[in-house]
Structure 1
Amino acid sequence: MIFHPDTRLGILYMLAASFLFALTVAFAKLLTSSMGSVEVTFWRNAVGLVLILALAFRKPIRNVGGRPFTLVFRGVVGTVALLTFFYTVGETTLSNAIVYSKTEPIFTAILAFFLMGEHLSKRAVLAIIVGFAGVLLLSGAEFSYLHAMGLLTGFLSALAYTSVRSLKSHYDERTVVLSFMIFGVLIPAALMAAARHYTSEVFAFALSPFVMPQGSDWLWIVLMGSAAAYGQIFMTRAYFYAKAGIVSATSYSVVLFATAFGIVLGDALPTPAVIAGGALVVLSGMLLIRSR
């Protein structure tokens, strides 16, 4: 298959982003042994924010503007999705956490049907069924708090990623990333402050107190934030250059990268049921992409 040069560039950017996102998750996994997922989210964005601002000073940002609420929506929802995601990273294997996050196309299709009245083809309905069958295998047919957070990551990611392409003609890609990073610092900071006074089983993913990083934690923080920032830039750029469906399909490469990193860090080899569940979720996403 011959792709347009811009499409090829979009695919390469998404492959680079997937590799960097897998690295981000690997460093986050190392950090969750000494701090809560909310603080991991804070540091992930704090380091990234510094890097993005440095890039902005080197080359001034120029925006057309016109969609401030969409920009804010992307930042807030993306941050909450990151909170639920890092919670699952700390509680399960890297491969499981990543596969849960890749349920995003399933929720995108469902949201489009209920909120925008888009037609669901027979292929799309089949893909949704296949996807949830994969989730059942992945979770062992249990619906615990952990699995709820995994699915919530997919749902919120669907909301956040859908907004990225709609911002293309209005904002510089660094502005889109900056919105995400700024809310990704402010919201976790407020939550860590609140965690000093409140506890909640329902909002356990969002309430954990600040713990001063020690020793090698600082190295993992810098590496995690750097990988996340450049991964975010490459992902945003990929959506700017190629169609969302092609970029989304390429993004599944992160499952392979994360599984490999997880095994290196000591995760157990995936069981046949987990492999089958993950494969069904990926297949579901592919079917949904082809049905668009």
Structure 2
Amino acid sequence: MNLSLSNTHRGILLMLAASFLFALTMLFAKLLSDSMGSVEITFWRNAMGLIVIALFVLRKPIHNVGGRPFTLIFRGVIGTVALLTFFYTIGATTLSNAIVYAKTEPIFTALLALFLLGEKLKANAVIAIFIGFAGVAMLSGLHWDYLHIMGILTGFLSALAYTSVRSLKAFYDERTVVLSFMLSGVIIPLFLMIAAEYTTSDFFAFALSPFIMPTGRDWMWIALMGIAAAYGQIYMTRAYFYAKAGTISTVSYSVVLFATLFGIILGDVLPTPMVVAGGVMIVLSGILLSRQK
């Protein structure tokens, strides 16, 4: 009997592993949110990531064509702000809600591709977008408070960052793109934590929290968060090498299941039927859009 795996099966298994690791990253971020703000969590997540990426660069030097420095910087900055809003929602709501909000990214990616890249939308994609926004309305309960706005902003900014990456592929090694994101994710939070010592703002609550020196078990959560995030990124990248993007994008929604299970373990309140329905519609929308690729 032939037990060898096809490339598609390898890609699916790698994406499942990546989704599990991304959910673990959320779990450790949630644990850290009890003792520090989202800005510092973002800082440590990227600081650990820089170490891992630096090791990969030392093993294989980077070679870039170059020519798009402002787009590269833009991707780093936008990606960092998206991470700030994401970690804010993780600390302020359940893990299941936080990841479902983040998974609105394909909806905004489709819209940005239409308006910024001039790509045409098929009828199925238009329907999927409407389904997604209906799901967002149900998930929020039509109460657009600060938390829900941050959740939606996470999806939108993630889509903006993803769209910019597509325009960088021909000019930069993927590690350069990741490095620009990691560097921004260290430098920007540093400035924000310094600013938080002198000012407060309800409007920028997601971006202003002072530095708190980690103690005891926090260091373990920080290390595990960084390792899980880095290897999750590696496995996800490899998954796209083995299988079609549409297939891998669909499997990536398993992170919602993993995050929900971890949230239950932490004691998150079980979602109401309306929240579950809204989450299902958002996931369905994303899957439909991923199948268009």
Q: Which residue of 1 aligns with 2:112?
A: 111
Shift in Å, 1:145 = 0.5
Shift in Å, 1:177 = 1.9
Instruction: Output the CA distance in 2 between the equivalents of 1:179 and 1:237.
Output: 20
Summarize deviations over 1:33-80 as a string: whole Å, max 9, x none.
110000000011111111221222233333343433332222111111
Checking the alignment, whether the CA contact within 8 Å between 2:40 and 2:193 is kept in structure 1 is yes
> Aligned ranges for residues 175-254 of structure 1 at < 5 Å?
175-239=176-240, 242-254=243-255
% same residue: 73
Checking the alignment, whether the CA contact within 8 Å between 1:107 and 1:154 is kept in structure 2 is yes
Q: Which residue of 2 aligns with 1:147?
A: 148
Checking the alignment, whether the CA contact within 8 Å between 1:173 and 1:237 is kept in structure 2 is no
> Aligned ranges for residues 58-73 of structure 1 at < 5 Å?
58-73=59-74
Q: Which residue of 1 aligns with 2:16?
A: 15
Mean CA deviation greater in 259-268 or 78-87: 259-268
Mean CA deviation greater in 141-150 or 231-240: 231-240
Change (3 A) 1:162 1:233: farther
Shift in Å, 1:153 = 0.3
Q: Which residue of 2 aligns with 1:40?
A: 41
Three-state SS of the structure 2 residue aligned to 1:14 is helix
Q: TM-score, normalised by structure 2?
A: 0.91
How many pairs align?
Answer: 289
Instruction: Output the CA distance in 2 between the equivalents of 1:10 and 1:66.
Output: 32
Q: Which residue of 1 aligns with 2:287?
A: 286
Mean CA deviation greater in 240-249 or 149-158: 240-249
Q: Which amino acid aligns with 2:251?
A: T
Q: Which amino acid aligns with 2:287?
A: M
Change (3 A) 1:239 1:158: farther
Mean CA deviation greater in 48-57 or 18-27: 48-57
Change (3 A) 1:68 1:238: farther
Checking the alignment, whether the CA contact within 8 Å between 1:165 and 1:239 is kept in structure 2 is no
Q: Which residue of 1 aligns with 2:260?
A: 259
Q: Which amino acid aligns with 1:25?
A: M
Three-state SS of the structure 1 residue aligned to 2:202 is coil
Checking the alignment, whether the CA contact within 8 Å between 2:125 and 2:292 is kept in structure 1 is yes
Shift in Å, 1:205 = 0.5
Instruction: Output the CA distance in 1 between the equivalents of 2:213 and 2:240.
Output: 37
Q: TM-score, normalised by structure 1?
A: 0.91
Moved over 6 A (4+): none
Checking the alignment, whether the CA contact within 8 Å between 1:174 and 1:233 is kept in structure 2 is no
Instruction: Output the CA distance in 2 between the equivalents of 1:291 and 1:248.
Output: 11
Instruction: Output the CA distance in 1 between the equivalents of 2:119 and 2:110.
Output: 8
Instruction: Output the CA distance in 2 between the equivalents of 1:10 and 1:161.
Output: 20
Shift in Å, 1:116 = 2.9
Three-state SS of the structure 2 residue aligned to 1:291 is coil
Checking the alignment, whether the CA contact within 8 Å between 2:109 and 2:162 is kept in structure 1 is no
Summarize deviations over 1:113-145 as a string: whole Å, max 9, x none.
222333333222211111111111111111000
Q: Which amino acid aligns with 1:270?
A: P
Which structure 2 residue ranges, 5 or more long, are not aligned?
Answer: none
RMSD: 2.0
Checking the alignment, whether the CA contact within 8 Å between 1:104 and 1:158 is kept in structure 2 is yes
Summarize deviations over 1:190-237 as a string: whole Å, max 9, x none.
111111112111111101111111111110001001111222233344
> Aligned ranges for residues 124-143 of structure 1 at < 5 Å?
124-143=125-144
Instruction: Output the CA distance in 2 between the equivalents of 1:37 and 1:136.
Output: 25
2:191 paired with 1:172: no
Instruction: Output the CA distance in 2 between the equivalents of 1:112 and 1:159.
Output: 10
